[in-house]
Structure 1
Amino acid sequence: MPAYLEQLTIRVAEGLGQLTDAERSLQTRYFLAAQKSDGGFGGREGGSDLYYTGFALRGLAVLGELYGPVAERAAAFLQSKLGGQESIVDFFSLIYGGMLIKSAAGIDVFANSQPGWQDQVATWLETLRRADGGYAKGIEGQASSTYHSFLVVICLQLLDRLPPEPARLLTFLRSQAAEEGGFREIKAGKRAGTNPTAAAIATFKILDALDENTRLDTIDFLLDMQTDEGGLRANTRIPIADLLSTFTGLTTLEDLGGLAEIDLAAAERFVQSLQREEGGFHAAAWDGAHDVEYSFYGLASLSFFARRRMMK
């Protein structure tokens, strides 16, 4: 069975294949224009980094445009980062970006890595494990994180591995469940959020541990996250919807079989309202800028609406 992210990439690409050539070309030009001279991609300020490069490569991959010179230059950038001391977020971006380039363009970013490098990576990831069974953000982090536990699991899955003692991780994730539904990011968190909930559910699915009560409670929680704008908000304390929460919320609802229960027409209006005439997307109504991260979320969100239309 394909890894979770591979399945998600296929789903998104399938939906985006239903867009018009003009719509696809507009977004392709946006991502291509964001590539810097070193082959990487940056955020709203500063030079290239692994985090934003990962989102740009995901955008180009789902558009079917990750090949040729753009892929060669991006591969060179990723190779320049091999052997560095990266955070788990950047480390995931490096591994997944390399996998995307190999799949789409046939370039092996890790071709010159030492034999058994996957085992070394898995060993390093386990140093992030904490006594409660979850994984922390970094070596010095004391608190396990729902999101970073998810990142470790998908990194391992990309390397054809699963976390040791998965039952311990599942115990941690279940301890993150909030009374109102959804999941918290850290134990000290006071309320559940859309994004840690998405991370928890994806991890349950990867580990084949999603139960029916959790499925139903999570659908109800995510439906409550839809605002009058049509998009989804990050948590109950935030009144404004954003593209990250909208994308992760819709993804999770689809995974749970609950996508038909949300107002997709309103969600589509919200996503379209944030699309720029020049390509790319703003993060939310308050956002006057744009970047490849939120532009990926906006682009990928369009796939839900296109795929639902395919089913009618």
Structure 2
Amino acid sequence: MRTPYRPGDELADPAWMNDVVSLEVVAKTPEADGVVSLTLARPDGRRLPDWTPGAHIDLVLPSGATRQYSLCGDRFDAHVYRVGVLREPDGRGGSAYVHDVLAPGDAVGVGGPRNNFALVPSGSYLFVAGGIGITPLLPMIHQADLLGADWGLLYGGRTRRSMAFRDELSAYGDRVQLVPQDEHGLLDLTTFLGEPRSGVKVYSCGPAPLLAAMERVCAGWPAHTLHLERFVPKDQGAPARSGPFAVELARAGVVVDVSPGVSVLDAVRAAGVDVLSSCRQGTCGTCETTVLSGRPDHRDSILADHERAAGDCMFPCVSRSCDDRLVLDL
């Protein structure tokens, strides 16, 4: 089974893994046009759970909105978290609240951290970021550089002023290529990545067109070379079956009927079995559940192809069943 990362188990109380706790906004800093960073800490100054590059937290705003943001600060500073927030004019209001209302001294809820985008050990990395997609890559770059790995970053944005954390990245010299679109056009992925080869791990985060282009360009590379993180769900097409199916909850001893148009998550909750969830889009990984029997119809934007083929876990907020009956460890 795919093993979820559980950072800080030995350091934090179990509430950090399953519940939302309160942190204080200790700083709000402009990082670029339309981007601010939030620095968060415990009100009592105690240390926070550890995390690894690629991890994210669930940020529960005073408005009631819950959003996922990648941790992009110093993972060796045990007392603060930092996230970057892009103002999204066409969003659901969470980023607007952060930019226009949230202020230092305010309390926010935080769940996690969780990591669905972990940095695999390698001697060589290529990083490709688009816009706010730079945030999960920042700690990866710091880790790769700290370990003496060979690495390079290609970072694109609409304009230079819209590209966050440029000053931090300037410390790495010519390992970093900044490509503002209004100055240089679209990213030249083929030239940056070079010929397909083994021994290299490629990490990319950004808007959907960039990630689709990365998949095309890396199609001929060795398996498991490319690692992507999506801020919005990937189109999965039509489900494997259009009719209802049954979900057996092994620990609860309950069988739940799941109708078309109803998520497995909602059906399970309606039966009185609680499952922790957050994004409800198959992008955050919070609701990961073990599959004991049956073939899940994976509709998330997290699992790699070999993890999907294993069929031993699923995300019930979006995924369904290929069979008449699915048995879950719930």
Could you state the TM-score of these two structures normalised by the residue count of structure 2?
Answer: 0.29
Q: Which has the larger radius of gyration?
A: 2
Could you state the TM-score of these two structures normalised by the residue count of structure 1?
Answer: 0.31
More helix by share: 1
More strand by share: 2
